[in-house]
Chain A
Amino acid sequence: MEKKIIFESVNCGDVLPEVRQMVNQEVIWQHAAGSMDYNPVHNNPEWCKTAQVFGLPVTVMHGNQTMSLMCKVVTNWAYPSGGRLKRIESKLVRPVPVDATCIYGATVTEKHPIGKGKDFVTLDIWAKDEQGNTVGVAEAEVYLP
């Protein structure tokens, strides 16, 4: 098992390991199946050529897939130690067109020493495309053992 993450060992400013994901149409379709979000803006390339919901003639990644990959930064880091999310609030600021690659990361910004079993940290999470454009941000609260 990985090195255990516990509340006492975490400090403000700690940077979590990043996640990287290329999203082609197959990856989007599998996310549609997993989430049951079958909106054509993600799944139907022909429809997107004219509908252009985001002003683009191509499909775009689900916003909740961006959120899911931001969560992956947290679940990779805290869940093998028994941590779990308490709250997350995201803002999705830029559509991610099919075949893009994005990078996801996070930094610890706050520690909340409430008591054993209730201690949590706050993270600033970001998602950027390969050109460095921010596509999404989130603030997450995470219980740690």
Chain B
Amino acid sequence: MGYLEEMAKYHKSAKQKEFGADFLVKEDIDQYEFWDEIEIGKESELPMKFEVKAEDLVAYAEGVPDDNPIFYDEAYARKCGHDGIVAHPMFGTQVGFFLMRKGHGSWIRTPGARNPGQIIEYYDPIKVGDILTMKIKGHDKWIKRGKYYMRYMTETFDQHGNLKIRYYVTLILPRTREDVLKFLKGEHALQA
């Protein structure tokens, strides 16, 4: 069984089943943004929406893995003082990958990317029934010790306009399209 089939065993939610798990599709990569082309200050509101279902929150918690009942049991979560089952603090990762799959922000999917650490500010808790949209803006890019860093500020809102989280998504990327295409073929293409 190939790795895509292995991962498909864990696809339970409707979004997981619909989302493409192959990040090595050349036609997709051709549409990505690359480090040396990304414009700082460019902003946009992503076209897709993310309607939060309980199964989405459960899928994230299972993937941590974390069996704390606050993520699964609504009655327990309410008894603890929460407004329904809790979104894991890193649930915004699922929202980001779901919404940033094409066009602006698609560099998040880059083969060869490395994660140096993330910054997340929490405002209004994400809960079941929220319909989330995301605004993204090129925030910073820098070179340090030969590595090419990229940071976007993303803001996630619900259908009432409430800011839910501000997530500074940061990655170290291969610098050019040619470098990413080498990774597509399984070749190492980093100088540092």
Contacts and interface: CB of A to CB of B under 8 A. Distances in A.
Contacts of B188: 50-53
Interface residues of chain A: helix, strand, loop or mixed (majority): helix
Q: How large is the interface on B (under 10, 10 to 19, 20 to 34, 35 or more residues)?
A: 35 or more
A105 interface: no
Nearest to B11: A33
A29 B62 CA distance: 11
Interface string A120-142: 00000000000000001010000
Contact of A51 (B16, B119, B187): B187
Interface residues of chain B: helix, strand, loop or mixed (majority): loop
A71 B88 contact: yes
Contacts of A97: none
A32 interface: yes
A53 B59 contact: no
B106 interface: no
A44 B3 contact: yes
Contacts of A32: 7, 10, 21, 63
A81 B80 contact: yes
B186 interface: yes
Q: Count chain A CB atoms within 10 A of each CB in B21, B22, B24, B80 and give the residue with the most.
A: B80
B121 A71 contact: no
A79 B16 contact: no
Nearest to B70: A79
B107 to A, nearest CB: 12
Contacts of A37: 93, 97
Contacts of B118: 63-64, 67, 88-90
B24 A44 contact: yes
Contacts of B3: 29, 43-46
A128 B6 CA distance: 28
Contacts of A86: 121-122
Given A29-B6, A32-B7, A85-B122, 17 more contacts: A29-B7, A29-B10, A32-B10, A33-B10, A34-B60, A34-B61, A35-B94, A36-B93, A39-B110, A41-B112, A53-B183, A54-B114, A71-B88, A72-B64, A72-B66, A87-B120, A138-B117
Closest 5 CB pairs of A and B: A34-B63, A82-B81, A63-B115, A33-B10, A36-B97
Interface of B: 3, 6-7, 9-11, 15-16, 19-24, 59-66, 68, 70, 79-82, 86, 88-90, 93-94, 97-98, 109-122, 125, 183, 186-188, 190
6 contacts: A46-B3, A69-B64, A81-B80, A82-B82, A84-B125, A92-B117
